[in-house]
């Protein structure tokens, strides 16, 4: 049986770890060819190895910083030179930044979080949308967060950036729907990745597992999410099975966002 993404080309930013890696594995299993972008080439090599352990496919690795528009233009151009088209785009790379009360929040860190999480997503949209428009369609998924639809303590920059991702998703969706392009965002709760482990380490540097255990008590599902759960959601949105889902911000959080 053919996969839902058979011979489709999917570009993934932040493909070296966590959600980007999980999506890479699932979409490759569904038949996709991959262009994986990350600031960390070693991490990309590891993702490639993990994908190829599951399935044989064409994988292009591109080192690049999503906060730099020239490097974003380059990963789009390089993907096009290699594959000739971009069917799906998981616009995902992001960082948490340091946790602090707003009055103590370091302004340089604020700029860094905005540069990667907000501008990085904008540059990705800016350079991939015209490619898809020319092709006559495509599917884009941005990574917002539960912090993009409600408040999260001590994360003023992260919250600002992820609310902005939700806003940019809706704006791009209404601009490009008539060109056969769907632009959606996912809003994950805490999913067990390196970023979330780092976040728990900020809460309790000596025992992040205890911080995690404490944290999930507040979640209706009483657990962290798994990266592969996100992988399946993103693969579905990129598959084009339901293109009328457009401009949506879709929580994947064990009902956490429904609670408030």
Q: Which residues sit at the interface with ligand NAD, rule CB under 6 A? A: 13-14, 16-20, 38-40, 43, 65-67, 92-95, 116, 143, 145, 188, 190-191, 193-196
Q: Where do the DSSP E strands lie in 14-58?
A: 33-38
Q: What is the closest distance, in whole angstroms, from the C-beta atom of residue 179 to ligand NAD in the complex? A: 26
Minimum CB distance to ligand NAD smaller for 61 or for 177: 61
| 236 included as an active-site residue | no
Minimum CB distance to ligand NAD smaller for 74 or for 179: 74
Q: Choosing from 90, 139, 158, 236, which is the catalytic residue?
A: 158
- Which neighbouring-strand residues pair with 188? 252
d(CA 260, CA 255): 10
Minimum CB distance to ligand NAD smaller for 177 or for 192: 192
d(CA 218, CA 188): 15
Number of H helices, E strands in the chain: 9, 7
Q: What is the closest distance, in whole angstroms, from the C-beta atom of residue 13 to ligand NAD in the complex? A: 6
Tell me if 233 sits within 8 A of 250, measured CB to CB.
yes
Q: What is the closest distance, in whole angstroms, from the C-beta atom of residue 107 to ligand NAD in the complex? A: 19
Minimum CB distance to ligand NAD smaller for 67 or for 243: 67
Q: What is the closest distance, in whole angstroms, from the C-beta atom of residue 58 to ligand NAD in the complex? A: 21
d(CA 88, CA 182): 10
Tell me if 179 sits within 8 A of 132, measured CB to CB.
yes
> Which residues participate in catalysis according to the annotation?
158
């Amino acid at each position: 049986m053919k996969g839902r993404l058979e011979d489709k080309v999917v570009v993934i930013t932040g493909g070296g770890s966590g959600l980007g890696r999980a999506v890479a594995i699932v979409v490759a299993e569904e038949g996709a060819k991959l262009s994986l972008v990350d600031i960390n080439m070693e991490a990309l090599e590891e993702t490639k190895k993990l994908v190829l352990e599951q399935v044989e496919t064409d994988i292009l690795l591109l080192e690049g910083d999503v906060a730099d528009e020239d490097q974003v233009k380059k990963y789009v151009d390089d993907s096009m030179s290699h594959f000739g088209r971009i069917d799906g785009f998981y616009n995902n790379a992001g960082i948490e930044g340091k946790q602090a009360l707003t009055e103590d929040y370091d302004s340089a860190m604020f700029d860094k979080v905005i540069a990667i999480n907000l501008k990085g997503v904008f540059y990705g949209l800016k350079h991939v949308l015209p490619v898809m428009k020319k092709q006559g369609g495509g599917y884009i998924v941005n990574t917002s967060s539960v912090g993009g639809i409600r408040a999260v303590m001590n994360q003023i920059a992260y919250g600002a950036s992820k609310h902005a991702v939700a806003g940019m998703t809706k704006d791009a969706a209404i601009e490009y729907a008539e060109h056969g392009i769907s632009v959606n965002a996912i809003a994950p709760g805490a999913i067990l990745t390196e970023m979330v482990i780092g976040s728990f380490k900020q809460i309790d540097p000596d025992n992040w597992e205890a911080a995690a255990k404490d944290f999930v008590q507040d979640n209706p599902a009483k657990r962290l999410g798994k990266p592969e759960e996100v992988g399946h959601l993103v693969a579905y949105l990129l598959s084009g099975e339901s293109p009328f889902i457009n401009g949506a911000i879709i929580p994947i959080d064990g009902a956490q966002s429904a609670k408030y």
